[in-house]
């Protein structure tokens, strides 16, 4: 298990404000170099937001659905001031469990200054918990 973290900074090292992008602080994609693994990740995990909302609606009506949206990382489901505060650090993380050792490619997308920014990373996962990035 790991949390893949990306931090967006200015040249002086200060954080860049992350803005909501598709209602979240960011999105990521992970692919193993041989194509056997591919996943789209969200900051709150890779569960199905639609499924979570359906079950929450059955249990708690519209209030339950809004709570599920917030728990899934939907920034439109929380107060705007809270959403803005979450983006101030310039950092976003994605929980993920690498299913097997190998070389992976990770793409992270965030929105800053009204523009979508994409950053590619290469991650090597060994047999232990050692992970290296390039």
Q: Are 48 and 54 in contact (CB under 8 A)?
A: no
Q: What is the pLDDT of residue 83?
A: 79
Each residue's pLDDT tens digit, 2-51: 889 999 999 999 999 999 888 889 999 999 999 999 999 988 777 666 66
Is the pLDDT confidence value at 107 over 90?
A: yes
Q: Give the pairing type, strands 102-112 and 38-41.
A: unpaired
Q: What is the pLDDT of residue 49?
A: 65
| Closest C-alpha among 121, 99, 115, 126 to residue 18 | 115
Cα distance between residue 95 and residue 70, in whole Å: 16
Cα distance between residue 124 and residue 101, in whole Å: 8
- Find how far residue 26's CA is from the centre of its chain: 5
Return the top range by mean pLDDT from 55-64, 72-81, 85-94, 117-126.
Answer: 117-126
Q: Are 123 and 31 in contact (CB under 8 A)?
A: no
Q: What is the pTM of this model?
A: 0.77
| Closest C-alpha among 58, 54, 53 to residue 23 | 53
The residue assigned the tokens 């200054």 is 113
pLDDT level of residue 120 (50, 70, 90 thresholds)? very high
């Amino acid at each position: 298990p790991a949390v893949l973290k990306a931090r967006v900074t200015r040249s002086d090292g200060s954080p860049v404000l992350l803005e909501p992008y598709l209602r979240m602080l960011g999105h990521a994609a992970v692919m193993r170099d041989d194509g056997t693994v591919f996943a789209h990740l969200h900051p709150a995990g890779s569960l199905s937001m639609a499924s979570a909302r359906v079950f929450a609606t059955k249990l708690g009506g519209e209030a339950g659905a809004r709570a599920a949206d917030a728990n899934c990382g939907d920034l439109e489901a929380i107060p705007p001031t809270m959403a803005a505060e979450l983006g101030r650090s310039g950092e976003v993380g994605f929980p993920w469990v690498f299913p097997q050792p190998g070389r992976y490619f990770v793409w992270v997308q965030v929105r800053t200054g009204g523009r979508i920014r994409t950053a590619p990373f290469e991650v090597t996962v060994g047999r232990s918990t050692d992970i290296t990035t390039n």
